[in-house]
Amino acid sequence: MNVFETLNANLLTQPFAGQDTAAILNQCQWISAMYAKVENAISVLSDLKNNKSYIYSGHIATALGLTYSQDMREINSIWEDEIFNRIHPDHLVGKHLMELKFFHLLKGLPLSERCDYQVNSYLQMRNQYEEYMSVQHRMFYLHSSNDGSVNLALCLYNFGISPLPVDKYQGAIVNMRSGKVMVSDNQQFSDILSFREKELLQLVKNGKSSKEIATILSISINTVNRHRQNILEKLHVKNSFEACKIAEAIELL
């Protein structure tokens, strides 16, 4: 399973228990339209529960070779293929990976803190002349369901001053309240688990029991269990199966 498929499955298979309110969707649509109008951004509001997106296009769309009209466009998908087709393939993988990390980070946070975080990145996108340009991409959730499922996501694409001439995807998860950068790239994310924790998780993935792992690594069973608990906490997951799945998706294993 590749990064995109993992992300897609993770997002769409949440329980989404709790009420849907038209008022919240309506307010979020207003916000999305505002970004397109005030900043000339392309603004994509995705409704994960109903597998729909609402696309609002500022004038950047023309520069990026997209034929969107200014009107809101509703599609039956949480992904916007035409936009993805303009993004450099390596950057698209980087973007999906970052969004997967973001999803797992948010799931570990109380609802009240989730709106403090944003994914911020610079993507290379092909313009109307098929040349690559640097585009600022921001992504955050505007709403989570009562049961904790993340629900309404906003993706913004606009121009800014790009940090550097970047070949490689450059992204980060930023706490917009404190300025703290939570995750800044693959390398640093892979540092989330220690070498020992990765070694242990690999053994879990290979079907070994805690007792077997203790013998293999010459450590006590208590130490094994402490490591396992730390891994679950660090990855914001509930059990070892989920830990293996996410660790694999984000290329920790």
Q: Please tell me whether residue 94 binds a copy of itself under the rule CB under 8 A.
A: no
Continuous segment of H or E residues that includes residue 167? none
Tell me if residue 122 falls in helix, strand or coil: strand
Residue 45 or 213 with smaller CB distance to a copy of itself:
45
> For the stretch 10-46, what's the b/e string if a residue is b when 16 or more beta carbons lie within 10 angstroms of its beta carbon?
bbeebebeeeeeeeebeebbeebbebbeebbbbbbbb
Q: Which is nearer to a copy of itself, 42 or 243 (CB)?
A: 42
The region of 17-25, 98-106, 111-119, 199-207 touching a copy of itself under the rule CB under 8 A is: 111-119
Shortest reach from residue 126's CB to a copy of itself, in Å: 12
Q: Measure the CA–CA gap between 86 and 97, rounded to whole angstroms.
A: 18
Nearer to a copy of itself, 94 or 171 (CB): 171
Give least dist CB 157 to a copy of itself, A.
11
Residue 43 binding a copy of itself, by CB under 8 A: no
Number of amino acids touching a copy of itself (CB under 8 A): 39
Q: Does 22 bind a copy of itself (CB under 8 A)?
A: no
Find the shortest distance in angstroms from Cβ 178 to a copy of itself: 5
Choose, by CB under 8 A, the member of 75, 93, 109, 115 that binds a copy of itself.
115
What is the chain's alpha carbon radius of gyration, rounded to the nearest angstrom? Answer: 20
User: Cα–Cα distance between 125 and 133 in angstroms, integer?
Assistant: 5
- Rounded distance, CA 135 to CA 66, Å? 14
What are the residues whose beta carbons fall under 8 Å from the beta carbon of 16, sequence distance 6 or more? 48, 49, 145, 147, 149, 151
- Do 252 and 204 form a contact (C-beta atoms < 8 A)? no
Q: Is 109 in the site for a copy of itself (CB under 8 A)?
A: no
* Contact assessment for residue 74 and residue 44, using Cβ atoms and an 8 Å cutoff: no
**CB count, 10 Å around CB of 159?**
15
The site map against a copy of itself for 130-159 (x = CB under 8 A) is ---xxx------x---------------xx
Residues between 46 and 85 that touch a copy of itself (CB under 8 A): 58-60, 62-63
Please give the residue ranges that form the binding site for a copy of itself (CB under 8 A).
31, 34, 38-41, 58-60, 62-63, 115-116, 118, 120-121, 127, 133-135, 142, 158-164, 170-172, 174-179, 181, 184
